[in-house]
Structure 1
Amino acid sequence: MGIILIIILILLGGGVFMYLQQPQFGQVATGDRLMRMQQSPNYKDGKFVNRYPTRMLPEGYSMAGEVYRTFIKHTPRKYPVDSIPSVKTDLTSIPLHQNILIWFGHSSYYMQLDGKRILVDPVLSGAASPLPIGVKAFPGTDIYDVADFPTLDYLLITHDHFDHLDYKTVIALQPKVKQVVCGLGVGASLAYWGYQHDQLVEMDWDEELEIATNYKLYTVTAKHGSGRSIHPDNTLWLSFVISSPSMQIFVGGDSGYDVHFKEIGKSFGPFDLAILDNGQYGEDGFATIHMSPKYTLRAAQDLQAKRLFPVHSSKFVLSRHAWDEPLLKISALLAEDKSYLVLPKIGEAVDLNDRQRIFDAWWEGVN
């Protein structure tokens, strides 16, 4: 029996190893790319580290327990029964001079800002997991595909978790992308998937990229993590500051709450718009690397944001709250100042110059 068990374990291990060799799991950095990572002050003992003490899970919680509570244990209304309301906007017909934002659910969105077309963390494949039985998009949320996009000046990747860097989407986008801006090490996977050297800009925290006259992109710290396989935190996670001629926008990606938001606000604020993680949190599990609504609002205030666009919700189940809880809670916190929140339907065009618009509570009545 012992020999049989050993054989079974070897076969299982071999099967897992072979499965992880599939291209969607990406490539680890080597050569000059790895050397640059090793020179970063944020890289220690073979991986990137947060600037502030961070646990993936609080003491007493396990990843197995989180998986059970998220995907197996029943949570009321964790999945919507109805189709999520959405609008299909023709992205190719929007005049380039218009400052527009369009959300695709979760943390994927498109911006036209002062003549530049920018796409952030696109996940358009219908899944946020490489597993065949993995995390699927809610009905109604996957109404766009790569064919709907114009040529993109910049593709911004905040980090390489599967719900932010989607293999099927980015390989299809490659011919339409002029430049990708991502964290150190993420370019290894993108190069493996067909992106050319001159398309890739890999950046550390606290760096800047000149886009045009009076137009810059800054990288700033986030409190999160990274990794696509068995190597955690072997690439760098980022937030971005977009400083265009007409406005200042914070692109948060994923981050837990900490003093870095106040520091970024002092350095770059006030912001015309802060786009912040507000979903797939737990008040206990994952509370240190994501934000629940009260912390999302606090982060926006620390950033000195004039308006807040809360994202990371309404498309995938990656935690155990009800699907619409992030929207209900953030709206309740700002019930007296509804113009502060940017809460569009998926696919709805948002005029970034219209700073007084109050959005309909589109999630109300959706079961």
Structure 2
Amino acid sequence: MRIKKNKKKYVTANLPPGTMAYKGEKLSTITATEIVNYSKDEHHRLQSNRIEDAFNLKGNNQVTWININGLNNVSDIETLGVHYDLHPLTLEDIVNTGQRPKIEEFENYIFVVFKMLFIKNDDELHYEHMSLILGSDYVLTFQEADGDVFGDVRERLSTAKGRIRSQGSDYLMYSLLDAIVDNYFTVIEVFGDQVEELESLIFQSKEAGDDTPQDIQKLKQEILKMRRSIYPLREVINRMEKIESSLIEQKTHSYLRDLYDHIIQVNESVDLYREMIWSLMDMYMTIISNKMNEIMKVLTIIATIFIPLTFIAGIYGMNFQNMPELSTENGYFVLLGIMFLLFLLMLLYFRRKGWL
């Protein structure tokens, strides 16, 4: 009998190029807009639910950072795209959560797609699709929902700490990407602790339970997903560092080179833990096999001990009349003594061989 499996239906949406279609799961009823406008001597921050509030800041000789939360509100994003003259394919990639990290250079802006990874209070790893647009005096960031890793950047902007307020929009772009990559280290550290904890659990075989293979498989899926999100950013930053564009000043390239070194280090850590996870299952199966071998050894020894005893009992269990030992007065006790002596001799032999 052949078991029929429920086949998953795959639907291909053959939409025209440039069609905005959000496919994520993080839905927001409003488009939360955060507007930060700053210069070396001034700083203004506004939070609004109206995308139009960001329009009057364009071309004010200051740097403007507009952060949009809620990619499912495609009409608002399209309105912002019209105002900043964004290409339709750019708008399509902004709301396409399946888009891999990449960088594209247009005439008046640079478009970057990446994944933001962060740990929330539930100690679970969260992935968020993000897009960044660098203009001459503005930076636009688009994220799926509330929550990001830009708290330190906001603090530096509000307190004028560091050089960020005295630099242009390209340095703001670098600062945001640097915050993303730095948080990768935190995520990798948390993930590494989970791998090492599971590794210790496997070695302590008494505590390793039946759900250990599922835990290993879950970590394996997580590291593969993490690698797909982080690894392409290496090429993105490398290409960004080599771009000859008026939007990126020459002095900013030095910071981008340092950022490239950081993402290389992150990728190396991901590959290291990936190899460790792949070896965890082999390690677990080896320990389980060793346990089974120990059990089989004990059972084999027990069976070996009882083979001669069973042989003797079988012989004297036959119903023949001409068996001299059956008429002996103490034959029963003598036979039990011989069987017990064989038992002791075999135990001593097994112990001398180191099998017990």
Q: TM-score range by the shorter chain?
A: under 0.3
The structure with the largest helix share of the pair is 2
How high is the TM-score relative to the length of structure 2? 0.23
- Looking at both structures, which has the greater relative contact order when contacts are Cα pairs under 8 Å and sequence separation is at least 6? 1
The structure with the largest strand share of the pair is 1
How high is the TM-score relative to the length of structure 1? 0.23
